[in-house]
Structure 1
Amino acid sequence: MPQSDRSGRPRRSAPTVRDVAARAGVSPMTVSRVLRGEPRVSPSTRTRVLAAVDELGYRLDEVARSLRLGRASGLLGLVVTNLANPFYSRLALGAEEVARHHGLRLVLGSTGGEVRREAELTDDLVSRRVDGMIVVPAASEQTHLDAETLRGTPLVLASRPPSGIEADTVLVDDFGGARAGAAQLVRDGHTSVGFLGNPPGLFTGAERFRGWRAALEEAGVPVRDAWVRRDARDIGTAQAAALDLLERSDAPTALFCATNRLTLGAYRAVRQIGTGTALAGFDAVELADVLEGPLLIVSYDADEIGRRAARLLIDRVLAEPGTPVRPARRSVVPTTLVRYGVTR
C-alpha cells in the first residue's frame, strides 16, 4: 500500500537509477558509470544522464551504497593547515570544482599546522573510506602519510613536497617567484632589501628565502643577516618583526615578505611609523588594490593548485585494478608579478 504524507496525500516514491536510465535512454549501468565519474562515457551521454538526474531530482545515497558493496564513500578528503588564510579557501574551491565534475564530494579539515592533528584527521578520513585525499603537510614529518598507514588510500600533497614518502605533488614556483620579486625591487632602485619570513623549517619559507637571496647575490646587492627576520607566523608577529627592522638606524628601504599574512603585518608597520618603505610579498593580498602606497605581489592561481591536485588524485582513484602503479608525479604552478599603487 503506498505511503502517505501528513496531509493524507500519496507520497511520491523517490526516483531510482532505472528511472534515470529510462529518461536518458541508456542502461542503468551507464547511469552508474556517469555518477561514479568514470571516463568511459561519451560527453553527449554524460550530458543526457546528468540532465535526467536534474529533471527527476534523483539523489544517490552514495555512502550507504558504497558501504553495502564494501567500496569507498564517493568522498575526497582535503586537509589544510590554516582555514583563516584565503589561500586555502581558494585551493579548496579549485579541488571542489574538479571533484564535483566527477560526481564526488569534498570533506575538509584543518590542522592548525600541528602534525599530531594532521595524523588524527588523515586516520579519520581513512576510517571513513574516502576515495583519496589531498594534504597540505604541516611539516617534513610525514611518516603518518605513507601508503601502509593510509591503507592504500591514494594521496596527493599540495604546496609542500613529500619527505620520506612517495606521493604526487602540486607546488608553486616558490624559488622562482621570490627571485623575480626581489629582483624587481633591485631594478626599482633598492640596494637595501630586507626579508620577512616564516620559520625556516617550512618548505615554502625556505624556498622563498633562497629565491630572495639568489636575486640579491645575482645583482651584487649586499645580503645582510641584520635585515632578515624568519620567525613570523601571522599578521601580529610580522608587524612586530617589521617594526624591529624599520626602526633601525640602517633600516632597509624595501622588504620582501614570504606570505600574504606577513605582507599585511609589514604594511601595518610601515603605516604605523610612516616610512616610505617599499613592500613586495608572496601570495595574493585581499584588497591590495585599495591599499595606499606601492605594493608588489608575487601572484599565482591558488584555485589551480586545488584543481591540479584533484585531477592527479582522481586519476589515481579511477585507475583500473591491476594496472601498473605510476611513479609519483610533480606539477608546478607558475607565478607572475603584479604591481599595486605608485611604484618608486
Structure 2
Amino acid sequence: MADTARRSQPRYGNRPTMKDVAARAGVGLKTVSRVVNGEPGVTPDTERRVQEAIDALGFRRNDSARVLRKGSTASVGLVLEDLADPFYGPLARAVEEVARAHGALLINGSSAEDPSREQELVLALCARRVDGLIVIPAGHDHRYLEPEIAAGVATVFVDRPAGRINADAVLSDSYGGARSGTAHLIAHGHRRIGFIGDHPMIHTASERLRGFRTAMADAGLDIHDDWVSLGTTEAQRVEEAVVAMLGAPDPVTAIFAGNNRVTVTVVRMLAAHEPPVALIGFDDLELADLLKPGLTVVAQDATTLGRTAAERLFSRLDGAADAPSRVVLPTRLIPRGSGEIRPPAWE
C-alpha cells in the first residue's frame, strides 16, 4: 500500500506527469490523455476519478510535448496597430473570446503603424508556431507571409486588406460611412466642409476621403484644397489643420474627422469657437453622448469586426478550403447634435 502511494506521487518535483495522474486514478495512460484533451470514450465515473487526480496533483498539460506530437500549439496571434487605441480594445476582446471558445490562447502585439515592425511581429509569432494569425496591416506588401500561409498558418486580415497577396479580409465600410456622414452635413445646409484624416497611404484613410469626395460631388459642391488635410493624427498637426480651415478666406462651417484620435483634438479646438462649427467623427467615442452638444459619429462595430475575423480564422483552421473572401461590414450614423448644427444664417 505504501509502495502504491509512493508510485502515485509526482516524480519530477512539482511537475506531475500523465503517468502520475494515471497511477493515482488507477487508469491507463490513454484514458488520462482522453480526459485531458476532451476526447470521447471515457465513462463519467472514470472521468471524475481522473479529474480528481489532476486536481490533487496540480497536473498541467505539457503543450511543448503537444507541439512536437501534433504540430499544433492551440494559439493564435493578433497584430494590432496600437494596443492603446480604444477602437482596438473591443476588437481584441472579441477575438480573444472566440479563441477561448476554441480552446486557443491569444497572443497580441502592436505594430505602431510601422511596416517593418509588423513583419517582425508576424514572423516572430510564426516562429513560435502559432496556428493562425489575425493582422491589422501597417504595410502594403504581405508577400513575406506566403511561405507561412503555404506551411499552413491560417491568416485573416481585419480593418484593412492585405497588400499584394490574396487573403481573407474583414473590413468596415469606410467609404460608405464617410459618404453618408458628409451627406448628412450637406443635408443640414453646409457647403464648405473640411476633412481631416490620417495618412493617405492607410487604406481606411483613403477610403474615407473617397467617400467624402463622392458625397461632395453628388451634391455638386467644389472642394478647396485647404479644406482637406491628411497626415499624422498627433494633436499639433490636427490643431494646425483646424486653425487653417477656420482662418481661410472661405472658412469651413463643418468638419468631418477621419478617425477617433483626430476627433478628440477637433472637439477641443471647437469647444469655444464662435460661431459653432458642425462636426462628425468617424468612430464612436466613450462619453460622446455627454458632450455639449453630443458628438455625431459614424460608428463601426469593432466587436463584430473582431468576432467575424476570428470565426473566419477558426473556420480555416477547421479545414475550410474555399477561396479567400472579403467581408465588408456596414457602419451606422449616430446623430447626437454636433453634426446637426446648421451654418450661420448669413452663409
Report deviation, 1:222: 2.3
Structure 1: state its 5+ residue gaps.
5-10, 36-40
**Deviations, residues 247-289 of structure 1 (Å, cap 9, x unaligned):** 2232110001110111111111112544411101111112211
Q: In structure 2, what is the Cα distance between the partners aligned to 1:265 and 1:155?
A: 35
* TM-score (normalizing by structure 1): 0.82
Q: In structure 2, what is the Cα distance between the partners aligned to 1:229 and 1:260?
A: 15
Q: What is aligned with 2:71?
A: 71
Q: What is aligned with 2:281?
A: 281
**Aligned Cα RMSD in Å?**
3.3
Q: In structure 2, what is the Cα distance between the partners aligned to 1:62 and 1:105?
A: 14
CA change 1:17–1:259 in 2 (3 A) is: farther
Q: In structure 2, what is the Cα distance between the partners aligned to 1:242 and 1:301?
A: 28
CA change 1:63–1:30 in 2 (3 A) is: closer
CA change 1:142–1:274 in 2 (3 A) is: farther
2:84 is paired with a residue whose SS is coil
Q: What is aligned with 1:247?
A: 247
Q: In structure 2, what is the Cα distance between the partners aligned to 1:232 and 1:126?
A: 31
Q: In structure 2, what is the Cα distance between the partners aligned to 1:285 and 1:64?
A: 42
Does 2:142 align with 1:142?
Answer: yes
Q: What is aligned with 1:331?
A: 327
Q: What is aligned with 1:317?
A: 317
Q: What is aligned with 1:8?
A: none
Q: Which moved more, 1:294-303 or 1:265-274?
A: 265-274
CA change 1:210–1:69 in 2 (3 A) is: same
Q: In structure 2, what is the Cα distance between the partners aligned to 1:315 and 1:194?
A: 42
Report deviation, 1:316: 1.1
**Deviations, residues 199-229 of structure 1 (Å, cap 9, x unaligned):** 1111000000000111111122222222110
Q: In structure 1, what is the Cα distance between the partners aligned to 2:246 and 2:81?
A: 30
Does 2:336 align with 1:340?
Answer: yes
Say whether the 8 Å CA contact 1:279–1:294 is kept in structure 2: no
Say whether the 8 Å CA contact 2:118–2:139 is kept in structure 1: no
Report deviation, 1:295: 2.6
2:169 is paired with a residue whose SS is strand
Q: In structure 1, what is the Cα distance between the partners aligned to 2:85 and 2:291?
A: 19
Q: What is aligned with 1:257?
A: 257
Question: 1:317 is aligned with what amino acid?
Answer: L
Q: In structure 2, what is the Cα distance between the partners aligned to 1:313 and 1:249?
A: 52
Structure 2: state its 5+ residue gaps.
1-5, 342-347
Say whether the 8 Å CA contact 1:284–1:298 is kept in structure 2: yes
Q: What fraction of aligned residue pairs are identical, expressed as a percent?
A: 36
Q: What is aligned with 1:7?
A: none
Report deviation, 1:97: 1.0
Question: 1:302 is aligned with what amino acid?
Answer: A
1:215 is paired with a residue whose SS is helix
Q: What is aligned with 1:210?
A: 210
Q: What is aligned with 1:97?
A: 97
How do 1:1-344 and structure 2 match up within 5 A? 1=6, 3=9, 31=35, 34=38, 60-61=60-61, 63-148=63-148, 151-271=151-271, 273-319=273-319, 325-341=321-337, 343-344=340-341
Q: In structure 1, what is the Cα distance between the partners aligned to 2:310 and 2:37?
A: 19
**Deviations, residues 101-122 of structure 1 (Å, cap 9, x unaligned):** 1111100110111111111111
Q: In structure 2, what is the Cα distance between the partners aligned to 1:135 and 1:105?
A: 16
1:72 is paired with a residue whose SS is coil
CA change 1:277–1:117 in 2 (3 A) is: same
Q: What is aligned with 2:345?
A: none
Q: Which moved more, 1:246-255 or 1:168-177?
A: 246-255
Say whether the 8 Å CA contact 1:300–1:336 is kept in structure 2: yes
CA change 1:331–1:29 in 2 (3 A) is: farther
Say whether the 8 Å CA contact 2:21–2:54 is kept in structure 1: no
Report deviation, 1:14: 8.2
* TM-score (normalizing by structure 2): 0.81
Question: 1:330 is aligned with what amino acid?
Answer: R
CA change 1:105–1:216 in 2 (3 A) is: same
Q: In structure 2, what is the Cα distance between the partners aligned to 1:34 and 1:138?
A: 38
1:243 is paired with a residue whose SS is helix
1:328 is paired with a residue whose SS is coil
Say whether the 8 Å CA contact 1:270–1:277 is kept in structure 2: yes
Say whether the 8 Å CA contact 2:92–2:306 is kept in structure 1: yes
CA change 1:30–1:212 in 2 (3 A) is: farther
CA change 1:176–1:34 in 2 (3 A) is: farther
Which structure has the larger Rg? 2
Say whether the 8 Å CA contact 1:182–1:256 is kept in structure 2: yes
Aligned length: 320
Report deviation, 1:70: 4.7
Q: What is aligned with 1:38?
A: none
Say whether the 8 Å CA contact 1:161–1:169 is kept in structure 2: yes
